[in-house]
Amino acid sequence: MYLCQVPEDRDFAVRPGLPEQPYSIRPDTYQLFLGNETCLLAWSAHCDPAAVWPVNQH
Asked if 42 contacts 53 with a C-beta cutoff of 8 angstroms, the reply is yes
Give the pLDDT confidence score for residue 58 in this predicted structure: 67
Q: In the prediction, which pLDDT does 8 show?
A: 86
Instruction: Please list the residues that pair with 5 across neighbouring strands.
Output: 39
SS3 26: coil
pLDDT at 57: 80
pLDDT per residue as tens digits for the range 8-50: 888 888 999 999 888 878 888 888 777 788 899 988 777 777 7
pLDDT of residue 39: 92
CA 3, 8, 9 angle in degrees (round to 5)? 130
What is the rounded distance in angstroms from the CA atom of residue 13 to the CA atom of residue 2?
A: 26
CB 13 within 8 A of CB 28: yes
